[in-house]
Amino acid sequence: MAGQAVDTDAILRSLTLDEKISLLAGANFWETVGIPSKGVPSIKMTDGPNGCRGADIDGDIKAACFPAASNVAATFDPDLARRIGAALAEEARTKGAQVLLGPTVCCHRHPLGGRNFESFSEDPHLSGTLATALIRGVQEDGGVAACIKHFVANEQETDRMTVDETIGERALREIYLRPFEMAVREARPWSLMTAYNLVNGVHCDSHDWLLRDVLRGEWGWDGAVISDWGGTNSVAGSINAGLDLEMPGPAGVRTLSAVRAALEAGEVMEETINERAAALLKLIHRVGGFEQDYSGPSSLERAEDRPEHRALIREAGARGMVLLKNEGQLLPLTKENVRGKKIALIGLSKDALAHGGGSASVNAHYKITPWEALHAALGDSAEFVYAKGVHRQRLLSPLSKDSSAAGSVTALDGQPGFTRLLYEAGNPEPVLTLHGYASSAYSPLGSQESLNRVVELVGDFTPNESGAHYMACSGIGATTVFVDDAIVFRQESNCADPMGALFMAASEDLFRHDFVGGRAHRIRIRTEPPTNVGMRILEGRSGARLGFRTASEHDADLRGEAVRAARDADIAIVFTGHDPQWESEGRDQDSFSLPNGQNELVAVVARVNPNTIVVNATGVAVAMPWLGDVRAVVQAWFAGQECGNAIADVLTGAVNPEGHLPVSFPRRLEDAPAHGNFPGEYVDGQLKVAYAEGVFVGYRHYDRLSRDAVNFAFGHGLSYTAFRLDNLHVEPSGTGDEFVATAQVSNTGVLAGGVAVQLYIGNAVQSSEHPVKTLVAYQKARLQPGEAQHIRLLVKARDIAHFDEKAHAWVVEAGTYEFSMGFSSVDIHQRASVQIERQRVYSLARNGSYAE
């Protein structure tokens, strides 16, 4: 497969100039251009970080949904990340894809970052080690390339395609570039995706310093650079800087005429065109493309629900869950200690919060809810009662072809679902009719058929009850909703939030309409192709959604029902969290508080039941004003399709919780390091944001504040057993450029369990210019009761260096350094002092290595 002898130089020489130019942009939404006459195949890409969606993301092809990156990061387990990477590569092959668009390694700068869940951590070392492991897993068997993203500093979604970020070089080097550098140097991903945003006034896809000087120069990387979708902002600038491939295709910026004009004007040299084309040919060679022509993606896509993937997802989800609080050892809820008791499952227990929104969303093979999983785990040992408590969604749910409480919907062919009709402009007859579409929501992401066409979704809806029903609608372009041929909603022009509409998450206003129960009502959603959206990726792409909810459901006294259920129960478990509409690509989060009154729900339940447990499924830190009133809290993240089983495993003790927070959980949003500088301010119509906090991101910032600033510190995680650290010893290794820290960790409790031993280093003489300490190494230990394990962590002097902007080098100052080992950034058990006798300066070499 990959790696067979292919002379890509000879292939490049055989290509005409126009053919080489054609390789520099995609053929369609997911594939590169093929040149069959010259033996150049097309290769295919797929989202994404936690599952392989395939080309038709709104179709019926399903995929395995793995835990989100923040859940994986909480495992502090690179081997588990490697295994997930290998499984994702297997999934990519089932979708006929050779490039996996992930992992996402941008750091969590602010708790409201819309895509934080998709990235690992606030800490660059933790992010870098896990990204390295996952990439190795993806690429270890050949045939699939990892595409690390988004390079660099894509820490917000607000105006993400145009926001200009002012970031000092030290912060860039130490925080935002660092995880990329670690993964590029150690795992050598075969491709990399540029970010939409500008860094210090230059778009990332055209950034000479980032792409040419740092990535390919200092780091010595030789892979293919791919734009984010619609993120190519110049012809000559991007080609000269080192962007090899514009996506998606067909070419929007790098048209043949535009590149030809740049060549004729002397803005681009043919030698540079050759370099860009050569990089793409190398990528095709690395994934085995020359041995097999991957054409016709739809016919190659298949859904394989593998038992080994199910087991891995369940294991990873459970191992990443973090036990934040367990007062009086209320947990675990074993069959023995709940026998004969009544347990109220309140809130989102019948919802599987498996993933976030946007390109990380997956049409999962299945999703297990906590309600299902706890019944399976505890059986008849306890009596379960349910109360919904709150509505989950930010928007009303679409009507679905699956039966629902609202009623049923039938396509024009009489089968469940909607019929999709596509029209050319000015033609009253549809040019394409497709039956059996799943729901009243249609995103054009990945679809070519709706480009520059009017789209109609038509279905006959038979409601279960008569009376007023709530509805809500949004479209990317002008959109109209008809019920029985009468207009009930009209959006006159493009959506005010087109990126939100693309991901089915734009804000929508409610309206009401009367239906007759048991009678079929024809619903027709007509959406026009948008123009002048301001985002090339959306131009001409029709898409819309219609949400629906019965009045009885919308107006029900959900909180009152929850209070009654909790009051009568021995134990109340409140399930809180975000669904993909609340936490999604394309928009930052609305609030630090849990949405739809979830905080108020927890508060009233805790008021009537002293044994209240909260299980929170978000990809980020959230406010917990009720923290002192509940006895136990589990941070469940987005754990993939096995999320319910993973939660049940932790709650019942089938898995002893061993996760540790990869992000700090501040008490107040105002205490976050980027507060006041997120998402930025508009200057002459452009959003600008200053990374004024510099290197003081996450715990580096909170270490300088009172302990009360955080509810839970970075690295925090409890267990059902107990651990002890002893005998920390640090000594130089070899030339003194490395240090070896050794210690012993022991399980002093009565249950087997796992713990992440974390090593932090800081200068003993604290300075306002430098963090108190930074994470430099960690190791996951899994121990039987009474068992002890030897910990050995290697630290390079370069790992404790800071970037000196004046010297333009990495510097380790002479002095005394404190090595701190513990179970979180504040739970330090062992300390050792080490004297570094002389200053070390590491220059920025251009061969992929640093030299003193």
Which sequence positions are flagged as catalytic?
228
Among 425, 438, 337, 420, CA closest to 381:
337
Identify whether 152 is preceded by a cis peptide bond (ω within 30 of 0): yes
DSSP 8-state assignment for residue 534: S
Q: What share of the chain is helix, strand, coil (3-state, %, to 5)?
A: 25, 30, 45
CA–CA gap between residue 814 and residue 822 (Å, rounded):
25
Q: Beta strand pairing status for 738-747 and 788-796?
A: antiparallel
CA–CA gap between residue 715 and residue 125 (Å, rounded):
13
E strand segments, 328-381: 342-347
Run of H or E including 615: strand 612-617
CA–CA gap between residue 683 and residue 662 (Å, rounded):
34
Q: Are 33 and 245 in contact (CB under 8 A)?
A: no
**CA Rg value for the chain:** 27
CA distances from 181 to 172, 214, 734, 827 (A): 11, 9, 24, 29
User: What is the sign, positive or negative, of the torsion defined by CA atoms of 739, 128, 692, 171?
Assistant: positive
Q: Label residue 337 exposed, middle or buried (CB < 10 Å: 0-12, 13-18, 19+).
A: middle
C-beta atoms surrounding 201 within 10 Å: 10
Identify whether 530 is preceded by a cis peptide bond (ω within 30 of 0): no
CA–CA gap between residue 351 and residue 356 (Å, rounded):
13
| Dihedral in degrees, nearest 10, Cα atoms 755, 761, 765, 769 | -110
- For the sheet with 753-763, list strands across it: 774-783, 753-763, 815-822, 828-836
In the chain, the amino acid numbered 322 is: V
HSE, side-chain direction, 13 A CA sphere, residue 670: 1
Q: Are 146 and 190 in contact (CB under 8 A)?
A: yes
Collapsing DSSP to helix, strand or coil, 212 comes out as helix
Among 533, 457, 526, 441, CA closest to 489:
526
Task: Point out which residues pair with 342 in neighbouring strands.
Answer: 383
Q: Beta strand pairing status for 571-577 and 612-617?
A: parallel
Task: Point out which residues pair with 410 in neighbouring strands.
Answer: 416, 460
CA–CA gap between residue 198 and residue 209 (Å, rounded):
12
Q: Torsion-angle region of residue 197: left (phi > 0), alpha (psi -120 to 50) or beta?
A: beta
User: What is the sign, positive or negative, of the torsion defined by CA atoms of 123, 129, 134, 135?
Assistant: positive
E strand segments, 492-566: 510-515, 521-527, 544-550
Q: Are 763 and 819 in contact (CB under 8 A)?
A: no
C-beta atoms surrounding 248 within 10 Å: 24
819: CB partners within 8 A, 6+ apart: 728, 730, 739, 741, 759, 760, 761, 795, 831, 832, 833, 834
Q: Beta strand pairing status for 632-635 and 612-617?
A: parallel
